[in-house]
Amino acid sequence: GDSVTQMEGPVTLSEEAFLTINCTYTATGYPSLFWYVQYPGEGLQLLLKATKADDKGSNKGFEATYRKETTSFHLEKGSVQVSDSAVYFCALTPGYSSASKIIFGSGTRLSIRP
Amino acid sequence: KAGVTQTPRYLIKTRGQQVTLSCSPISGHRSVSWYQQTPGQGLQFLFEYFSETQRNKGNFPGRFSGRQFSNSRSEMNVSTLELGDSALYLCASSLDEGRPTEAFFGQGTRLTVV
């Protein structure tokens, strides 16, 4: 079945460091890919998305490119801030079903040191 | 525009009891999905309702049920509560007028079963 695999956390970085969180997927057809972020005590917020191969999603300095050849959607940011500390989820909606059925990765907890 | 509203935010119940959680979607959104979030299993899809009909269902026992009203508000019910049902329950709404569809999440209801 469809699935998402993302790097285990926690990830701890110093402020202004470069961030990469790896994400790979298995899916039938042409899924849409997402990164969601969850701040402490909150629900999920959509960070960015890409709906077809080679699309690049970007928001708040974060970027991810839909790579069909490597089935990957890695999240990157050039210079992280303390306020980026949160849990990040890579996710997909399968190409064959309702777009509202989201399959999530296990999440990566990110902590940024001042 | 108001976001997705979930009530209550916190609940404590005893094993064997039943519980009802409520979700009010963003105005105009007709699709409502429910997810269970636990430290061990991560985020898992429970079910999705669209125009008062269950359109998708995850792999949960029949103790978990839901419904959607004509105004798109949704409720989920868990009967005969078990300790393992302790989790954050998240509701998401989407417009669902075609793909790709962005899902907007509420802050969740934290259920503790004692």
List, for residues B62-86, the tens digit of each pLDDT value.
Answer: 999 999 999 999 999 999 999 999 9
Return the residue in A100, A102, A108, A109 with the most chain B beta carbons within 10 A, the one to mutate for interface testing.
A100
pLDDT in tens, B22-61: 999 999 998 999 999 998 899 999 999 999 999 889 999 9
The contacts of residue B15 (CB under 8 Å, 6+ apart) are B81, B82, B83, B113, B114
Distance between CA B21 and CA A71 in Å, rounded?
37
Note whether A7 contacts B: Cβ–Cβ < 8 A: no
Is the CB of B102 less than 8 angstroms away from the CB of A46?
yes
Q: Digits of tens for pLDDT over chain A (114 positions)?
A: 889 999 888 999 999 999 999 999 999 888 999 999 999 888 899 999 998 899 999 999 999 999 999 999 999 999 999 999 999 999 998 876 555 688 999 999 999 999
**Strand-pair category, A23-26 with A3-6:** antiparallel
User: Residue A48 in contact with residue A63, Cβ under 8 Å?
Assistant: yes
Beta strands in chain A (DSSP E): 3-6, 11-14, 19-21, 23-26, 32-38, 44-50, 56-59, 62-65, 75-77, 86-93, 103-104, 108-113
